[in-house]
Structure 1
């Protein structure tokens, strides 16, 4: 085996080394051979190879060709000597190559290049994992100034059985110091040799193999992911042409603006904007402040002095409230509800359900005799057997109001023929039916109920997940001329596209609730309000995410008698929607907004033009409302009783104090999430009749009591 060892030899003398010329490069003389892949040099800079190809050079045997290459520069001649163990030397001066002994200069010089190539074979056999050319190793070790010397030693034993020979310090001192140009020229020479050789399979180094494998692996993984995405794209890619068309139509209408000048809403908007621009405060030095942060609120409100504040005296509960509390605590001891008015029965049932004390004993008292109303807001505790026992012998001939909410556990289809629908005239007087949460009621059960109650005017089918569009068609055919209220909240199996024809058959429909129905679109809503919008008084569209400004325009133009409108979480609406409502719906009494993107100026303009009739207004999480809305509410909302400004953190103490003191009819103010409110407002307002809900450290459900 042949070993190649390199080491950087420091200069022996302190004198600077003379510069070498380009002729100092040792030219290889061995025959050109096929280039083999190389591996990175080990950490000890030692190269090993099998010495099986060296031929005799001018009488030198293969054993003698195992050489230790050392180059010395004579101080006077600047020569390079290539010493062989056979005693022969090859000398290379700055001007050319001189040989001593046998004339083997050309062939032995080629041996240097052959040794460099032989190191590549050994590197591939050892499988070090990286390929570094011998010339590059020389460049890296020399760092542009000094080249490592190579010591090559061969042995007749196989490379696997030969241990590495340790060199003495004297042997290590025989290294060769060559300029970096030697390695560069050797590399160029090998490139010329590679071109001259016909190689059937070009050599591939180990790093290139790894790179190709990595690239192939990455390409295969990317292709796998691409194929998977193309295969499953149809499951996620959904295109609704009608929705896209409606959005484009809405965008065009928004660009055209709300109304022609000078309408009331546009006039109010212009006045408010002019007021904003003209409201610039001057301090004592005449410095101007902008209207955003540096400028204080234009609302002037003087709270009461804290020392003069006295909490309102506690009011004693009424005798009725005290009696109801006693009855709720002792409901199991009640033996009869005769001569108790229906209003007190409803209230007592509500208190029992809220306190989780409702049981089958009290339900038996409600159904005893011939009641006119049975109202149980929570029947989740009731079983099928208990329901059957209570209503099996109940006289429902005079029953007008039946409320059995959350009755999914006790009311499947098969118990109705023996209870509520046991005869064709079981419910002749029933006008209001509420079965919210009847998750086991299907189209068959509802048909059985409606068949024995032909006078129903109000029906609540919220959260009845088994009902389909055929139930609405059945209702339209049976109750189309009498039904006034229809609640279809969260009925996910009902598609509005399939029931639009049925909805148009309700001639006297006044209340329509379509909460959280994904099938509600602007086109369907336009068709319905165009046909039946004249009689509509309440429209609840909570979570109807497809509703746009054009839908609000259709509502305002076709629903002049609208009293209640719920647009909570309808996030696509803009200020133009408020303009449509202000110009078309002048009789609104209850308006619910939540998480809408209306501006402060638009809400203020709406209040100024249509806020005179408002009794309840919710601006929950409409974050842009501020002092402009407060000014309009304080001046023009004389009938306002309930105001919700929860999470409206631009409402300052001055703004809320101004509203509360100015709105004498205000009874409830909700300020949940308004962390900016301080005691200056809470203790400084002068309206004793208002109840503030949502203050910090207050009981969260205190407003539900009584």
Structure 2
């Protein structure tokens, strides 16, 4: 007994443990995403030790975690204090002049497209129209939801080399097959079908490949094809062995990705956004076999792991990676990608809540050509990580919407290091960013074209109307209400 009492922790620590006994008795394993102030900082092995050894380990672990937190808070406070001083910025343009007057006459090309869309039902043929213009017209018609079966034939007649139909939700299988079969020739180079789940299935796929090989097809997009199975896809891929770009977002019935690598080994771009039916093992076998893969989109796949990302980065010359909403991805995965793929130029990691500054520091140190980063709602990121991304001076696009811990230090770093490269910035709901520093950014970054500020209630007309960048478009500004004009009061008196 004397030995036990001799090895026991201090009385205050013992009382603390007793108060938390219920929580300790019903312990559930915490994952890596747990907060730093977890009650069980001592580690999972503490559960298997004796009561006094376990208690001592927990106490020592809490003390170490508390010291680490204090060091982190002190470092962050020091970094913020260096940039906390209000920027010495004054509007060079008088805000009282009001907003800049937009051009009264739009672009002639846009006006012509609008006229064609309005009267698209009366157009008899698009014969002779260049493919590039026909593609833009198809997008405009789809945006206006005017893609009827009759209009569809305008874009598929005469065997075009590109068929772009961004919105096919109104097309039935028979209609889609009737329009696409004449286009399925060796001349076809690009086929894009968006929201085609209603009309695209096994019958359409079989009809398209019945005519022979699609030997020149380089780009294939089947968006939202929820009826497409692995067999249907294999029929198309077998007919297009030289395919370089394959986009299959929201194709929920796909289960085996191995056929993709087997039938199209020269893929350079692959988009499997929200294809949650594909297992991690199948993904690993497929992706590590694509030795030319440069662009990979795995957004929305909660089964994507750090090990998978590292192996793919080692096997492929990745330049762009999308892992938005991949909840299992952590700092370890991003560090592995950064180390294995120093040529990476774009990382899209929206809603990956387990990313911290450590991942961004590693990314900036290894990937010196990083140009596009999106970190929407990555709530553990702070000024330290954002400032690290700017060190290369090549950042063109940055999205840090919904990150509460960014402030003046991030904007100062962007305005200093990326004044010639930055083109797009999203600071929506970042209310810790002062208006004055946004003014410095707008005046310093001469190539900045788009600044998004939804939810930034600190921004006033001083910034909106006072910056000097005439090419800058500020999106999401709160509408400035003007007081109603004074109206003379009329009093009606009854006649005497």
Asked if TM exceeds 0.5, the reply is yes
2:398 maps to which of 617, 631, 652 = 617
Of 187, 200, 203, which aligns to 1:414? Answer: 203
Give the direction of change, closer, same or farther, for the CA distance of 1:608–1:407 in structure 2 (3 Å limit). closer
1:300 and 2:85 equivalent? no
Structure 2 partner of 1:688: 470
Quick one: structure 1 residues 416 and 551, their matched pair in 2 at CA, closer, same or farther if it must change by over 3 Å? closer
**2:424 counterpart residue number:** 642
TM-score, length-scaled by structure 1: 0.56
Shift of 1:328: 0.7
Aligned to 1:452: 239
Alpha-carbon distance in 2 for matches of 1:380, 1:415: 15
Matched, 1:627 2:414: no
Q: Structure 1, residues 64-97: CA drift from partner, whole Å, max 9, x if none?
A: xxxxxxxxxxxxxxxxxxxxxxxxxxxxxxxxxx
Distance 1:241 1:594 in 2: 22
Does 2:144 match 1:355?
yes
Q: 1:240 to 1:521 in 2, by over 3 A?
A: farther
What per-residue deviation string (whole Å, max 9, x for no partner) do you get for residues 610-666 of structure 1?
3x1111111111111111111111112111111111111112211211111111101
For the 8 Å contact 1:423–1:452, the answer to whether it is kept is no
Q: Is the 8 A contact 1:371 1:395 kept in 2?
A: no
Contact 1:568 1:594 survives alignment (8 Å) = yes
In 1, the alpha carbon distance for the partners of 2:30 and 2:127 equals 58
1:240 Cα deviation (Å)? 11
Task: Report if aligned partners of 2:291, 2:315 keep a CA contact under 8 Å in 1.
Answer: no
1:440–1:466 contact (8 Å) kept in structure 2: yes
Q: Aligned runs of 1:395-474 on 2, under 5 Å? A: 396-418=185-207, 420-425=208-213, 427-469=214-256, 472-474=257-259
Alignment of 1:546-585 (within 5 A): 546-585=328-367
Q: Is the 8 A contact 1:441 1:464 kept in 2?
A: yes
1:601 aligns with 2:390: no
The alignment status of 1:478 with 2:275, answered yes or no, reads no
Whether the 8 Å CA contact 1:549–1:577 is kept in 2: the answer is yes
1:595/1:344 CA distance change after superposition, 3 Å: same
* Cα 1:432–1:278 shift into 2, 3 Å: closer
The RMSD of aligned alpha carbons is 2.9
1:516 aligns with 2:300: yes
Q: Is the 8 A contact 2:225 2:251 kept in 1?
A: yes
Q: Which runs of 5+ in 1 are unaligned?
A: 1-236, 256-268, 280-290, 292-296, 699-706
The residue that corresponds to 2:14 in the other structure is: none
Of 299, 313, 317, 1:529 maps to 313
Equivalent position of 2:125 in the other structure: 336
CA distance in 1, matches of 2:245, 2:28: 37
CA separation of 1:594/1:386 partners in 2, compared to 1, >3 Å: closer, same or farther?
A: same
Give CA deviations for 1:361-380 in whole Å, capped at 9, x if unaligned.
Answer: 22211111121100011100
* Aligned counterpart for 2:277 among listed residues 488, 493, 496: 493
Q: Deviations over 1:11-36 (max 9, x none)?
A: xxxxxxxxxxxxxxxxxxxxxxxxxx
Cα 1:441–1:307, aligned 2, differ >3 Å: closer, same or farther? closer
- 2:182 match: secondary structure: coil
How many equivalent residue pairs? 419
Q: Normalising to structure 2: TM-score of the pair?
A: 0.79
1:320 and 2:101 aligned: no
Tell me which structure has the larger Cα radius of gyration. Answer: 1
Aligned equivalents of 2:253 and 2:261: distance in 1? 18
Unaligned runs of 5+ in 2: 1-26, 35-39, 44-60, 62-72, 481-496
Structure 2 CA distance, aligned partners of 1:506 and 1:581? Answer: 23
> 1:273 offset after TM fit, Å?
6.6
Distance in 1 of aligned mates of 2:260 and 2:28: 33
Cα separation, 2, equivalents of 1:686 and 1:598: 34
Give a deviation string over 1:238-267, Cα, whole Å, max 9, x none: 9899999xxx9xx9xxx9xxxxxxxxxxxx
Tell me the residue number matched to 2:173: 384
SS in structure 2 of the partner of residue 568 of structure 1: coil
SS in 2 for 1:434: strand
Residues 1:651 and 2:433 aligned together: yes
Q: Is the CA contact 2:159–2:182 (under 8 Å) kept in the aligned structure 1?
A: no
How far apart are 1:593 and its partner, in Å? 0.7
Any conservation in 2 of the 1:441–1:466 contact (CA below 8 Å)?
Answer: yes
CA deviation string 1:98-124 (max 9, x = no partner): xxxxxxxxxxxxxxxxxxxxxxxxxxx
Contact 1:402 1:434 in 2 (8 A): yes
CA distance in 2, matches of 1:688, 1:323: 26
Q: Distance in 2 between matches of 1:310 and 1:644?
A: 21
Q: Distance in 1 between matches of 2:197 and 2:95?
A: 54
